[in-house]
């Protein structure tokens, strides 16, 4: 049973390495502590469940040059970049032009977004709201795996989902958590990758005494990521050891080897 799972999983592995992602949170309010981040917290769990490894999170202010610089660096280094924040109609909403600038793209009003905005706001539409239809030239609109409803499609405009603006590999999401989630959920299946297998071993011995055993297992199983986390307040253990990897067999073998080496220090495994 496990071997079957492994075989299909290995076939996927050989086809393409798993994707890496960065999360870019844009907003002074996160750096001043006025607002508590909910979006990175949500997204790391989603991406982990999808099998995408998050390699970096950056929180930066509403400053166009900072956004452009981070996007330039992160978009080169990671397969996927998800930005959050700075996409409304006010002076501190600088994300889309700044993302465009990272790729030397100018801005242009997108007719599909303009139509959606007019349909959504109706008589309440303010001229400034239309700025939200201005996106980098070369950006695309993504509606998720069920394909893109077009302006001339059958659905009424009000029932159409709101698309995600994508500039190269940068997925531009809004800062308001409920909208961030709704938009990510629309496109989430586009990112599904090989699952990450995870095991946990609890040790009643502290980090110092188990460090040599850990080193040996780390060296023996290079495909398994092993973490060591002291928990000062835990009732029955001192250190939580985590073992993660794409290769389920390797993760299980590394867990067995670690349990062997720790001997009586093991409280339990999960």
Contact residues: its own copies, CB under 8 A: 27-36, 40-41, 44-45, 48, 53-62, 66, 88-93, 121, 124-129, 176, 178-179, 196, 206-212, 214-215, 218, 225-230, 232-233, 242, 244
Q: Least CB distance from residue 148 to its own copies, whole Å?
A: 26
Please report which helix (H) or strand (E) contains residue 46, including its range: helix 39-50
- Beta partners for residue 140, in sequence order: 166
**Identity of the residue, 105 or 214, whose beta carbon is nearer to its own copies in the bound complex:** 214
**Identity of the residue, 79 or 148, whose beta carbon is nearer to its own copies in the bound complex:** 79
**Identity of the residue, 167 or 217, whose beta carbon is nearer to its own copies in the bound complex:** 217
Distance CA 177, CA 99 (A): 20
Distance CA 261, CA 270 (A): 17
**Identity of the residue, 54 or 102, whose beta carbon is nearer to its own copies in the bound complex:** 54
**Identity of the residue, 15 or 123, whose beta carbon is nearer to its own copies in the bound complex:** 123
**Identity of the residue, 147 or 264, whose beta carbon is nearer to its own copies in the bound complex:** 264
User: Looking at beta carbons, which pairs linking 61-64 to residues 24 or more positions away fall under 8 Å?
Assistant: 61/26, 61/27, 61/28, 61/31, 62/26, 62/27, 62/28, 62/86, 62/92, 62/93, 62/94, 63/94, 64/94, 64/97, 64/98, 64/101
Question: Which phi and psi (to 5°) does residue 267 adopt?
Answer: -85, -50
Q: Least CB distance from residue 139 to its own copies, whole Å?
A: 21
Q: Least CB distance from residue 83 to its own copies, whole Å?
A: 15
Distance CA 148, CA 185 (A): 15
SS3 of 251, please? helix
What is the number of other CB atoms lying within 10 angstroms of the CB of residue 41?
13
**Identity of the residue, 9 or 228, whose beta carbon is nearer to its own copies in the bound complex:** 228
Q: Least CB distance from residue 51 to its own copies, whole Å?
A: 12
SS3 of 244, please? strand
Q: Least CB distance from residue 268 to its own copies, whole Å?
A: 17
Q: Least CB distance from residue 50 to its own copies, whole Å?
A: 12
Distance CA 238, CA 32 (A): 34
Q: Least CB distance from residue 138 to its own copies, whole Å?
A: 26
């Amino acid at each position: 049973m496990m071997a079957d799972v492994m075989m299909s999983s290995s076939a996927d592995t050989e086809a393409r390495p798993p994707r890496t992602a960065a999360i870019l949170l844009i907003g002074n309010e996160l750096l001043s502590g006025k607002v508590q981040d909910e979006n990175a917290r949500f997204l790391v769990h989603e991406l982990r469940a999808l099998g995408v490894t998050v390699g970096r999170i950056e929180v930066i202010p509403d400053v166009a040059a900072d956004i452009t610089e981070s996007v330039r660096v992160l978009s080169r280094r990671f397969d996927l970049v998800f930005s959050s924040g700075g996409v409304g109609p006010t002076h501190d909403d600088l994300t889309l032009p700044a993302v465009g600038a990272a790729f030397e793209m100018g801005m242009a009003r997108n007719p599909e977004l303009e139509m959606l905005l007019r349909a959504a706001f109706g008589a309440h539409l303010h001229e400034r709201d239309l700025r939200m239809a201005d996106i980098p030239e070369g950006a695309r609109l993504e509606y998720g795996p069920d394909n893109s409803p077009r302006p001339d499609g059958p659905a009424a405009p009000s029932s159409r989902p709101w698309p995600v603006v994508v500039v190269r590999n940068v997925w531009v999401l809004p800062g308001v958590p409920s909208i961030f989630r709704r938009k990510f959920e629309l496109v989430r299946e586009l990112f599904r990758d090989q699952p990450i297998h995870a095991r946990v071993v609890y040790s009643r011995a502290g980090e110092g005494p188990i460090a040599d055993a850990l080193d040996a297992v780390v060296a023996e199983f290079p495909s398994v990521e092993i973490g060591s986390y002291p928990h000062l307040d835990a009732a029955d253990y001192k250190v939580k050891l985590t073992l993660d990897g794409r290769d389920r067999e390797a993760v299980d073998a590394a867990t067995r080897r670690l349990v062997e080496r720790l001997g009586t220090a093991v409280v339990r495994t999960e």
